């Protein structure tokens, strides 16, 4: 399954001064964090990103993935002026957005690839510490096998084309495929866990969280996540939930929101709040099919709540989804 399936391409156009001013007009203060991935290529500096977030009522941000990441020069001044904080960082945010997720490289069968990934995560953790960010998110771990990747893409296409009478058969095929992927990728899960053990020993003051990927060939499925978090429990590695990704997996016949949140709620550090349908992810909450009341009832008040939507959705849609979530009781 393509990690970007159903998603629009990021808006890489630059903002004019008028557009930046529109982004930074005052909004009602809220308790959510905003992922900088929501900006796409519109804002070119961390200062503009911080002021835009504050202008929309956010006092917290997450450093998310961008096609062209910004430098952090000047963030200290922005923090002094606005009081904004960085609550989380997605591993990979210091680099241009890549097809392979950070967890895939940390679990690679190739020792040299794992070492490069470890060095990259070390750089991210040091940057997080410099920004007084307490947590780094490691997202996804796809099995490294071209045939399985092609089969995942084919199954996704079959799922999208399935009629009501064909849906159950398509979901059954996906379930069988995920079981095979887990068996094939067990060694990669072990490598991923060893990599995270190493990082926690080196950086005990920065917490790490594992987030499942979207692809059917992602080995951090429900059973593998349970095993990995159990193995890493003494290292205080947390679980990070993504409402949109899990909803799409549920639509494919895999474990859904309730199962994930019940199983991993005790070690939940935060949640990416986005809506989705079977066909499209990264929608503003309220525009898709996610049962956010179920999420609300299952997420502890201490969990970080990050709004993360596709960059094609602008300020009005972000403010509307914040109001939607607030009205629901988040």
pLDDT at 140: 84
pLDDT band at 8 (very low <50, low <70, confident <90, very high): very low
At residue 101, the 3 state secondary structure works out as coil
pLDDT tens digits, one per residue of 127-151: 999 999 999 999 988 888 889 999 9
- Domain residue extents for the chain: 17-328
pLDDT at 203: 98
| Lowest-confidence pick of 72-86, 243-257, 288-302 | 72-86
Angle formed by the axes of helices 257-264 and 243-251, nearest 10°? 130
**Helix or strand holding residue 90 (H, E):** strand 85-90
Rounded to 5 degrees, what are φ and ψ at 89?
A: -140, 135
Is 152's pLDDT higher than 70? yes
Superfamily of domain 17-328: Divalent-metal-dependent TIM barrel enzymes (3.20.20.150)
Retrieve residue 292's tokens. Answer: 């956010």
pLDDT at 305: 98
122 exposure class (CB count in 10 Å sphere: 0-12, 13-18, 19+) = middle
Report the Cα 304 to chain-centroid distance in Å. Answer: 12
255 contacts: CB under 8 Å, gap ≥ 6: 222, 249
pTM here?
0.90
pLDDT at 215: 86
């Amino acid at each position: 399954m393509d990690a970007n399936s159903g998603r629009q391409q990021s808006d890489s156009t630059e903002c004019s001064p008028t557009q930046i001013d529109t982004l930074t007009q005052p909004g009602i203060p809220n308790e959510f964090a905003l992922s900088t991935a929501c900006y796409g290529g519109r804002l070119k500096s961390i200062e503009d990103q911080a002021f835009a977030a504050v202008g929309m009522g956010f006092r917290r941000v997450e450093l998310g993935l961008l096609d062209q990441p910004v430098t952090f020069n000047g963030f200290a001044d922005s923090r002094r002026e606005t009081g904004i904080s960085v609550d989380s960082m997605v591993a990979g945010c210091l680099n241009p957005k890549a097809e392979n997720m950070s967890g895939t490289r940390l679990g690679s069968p190739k020792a040299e690839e794992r070492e490069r990934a470890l060095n990259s995560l070390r750089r991210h953790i040091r940057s997080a510490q410099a920004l007084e960010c307490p947590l780094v998110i490691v997202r996804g771990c796809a099995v490294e096998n071209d045939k399985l990747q092609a089969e995942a893409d084919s199954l996704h296409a079959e799922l999208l084309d399935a009629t009501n009478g064909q849906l159950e058969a398509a979901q059954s095929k996906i379930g069988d495929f995920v079981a095979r992927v887990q068996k094939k990728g067990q060694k990669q899960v072990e490598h991923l866990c060893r990599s995270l053990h190493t990082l926690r020993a080196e950086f005990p003051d920065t917490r790490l969280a594992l987030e499942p990927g979207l692809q059917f060939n992602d080995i951090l499925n429900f059973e593998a996540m349970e095993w990995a978090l159990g193995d890493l429990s003494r290292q205080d590695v947390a679980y990070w939930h993504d409402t949109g990704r899990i909803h799409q997996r549920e639509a494919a016949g895999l474990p859904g929101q309730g199962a994930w949140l019940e199983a991993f709620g005790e070690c939940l550090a935060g949640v990416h709040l986005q809506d989705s349908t079977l066909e499209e992810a990264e929608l503003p909450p309220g525009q898709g099919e996610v049962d956010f009341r179920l999420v609300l009832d299952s997420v502890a008040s201490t969990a970080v709540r990050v709004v993360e939507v596709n960059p094609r959705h602008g300020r009005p849609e972000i403010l509307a989804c914040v109001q939607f979530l607030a009205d629901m009781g988040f």
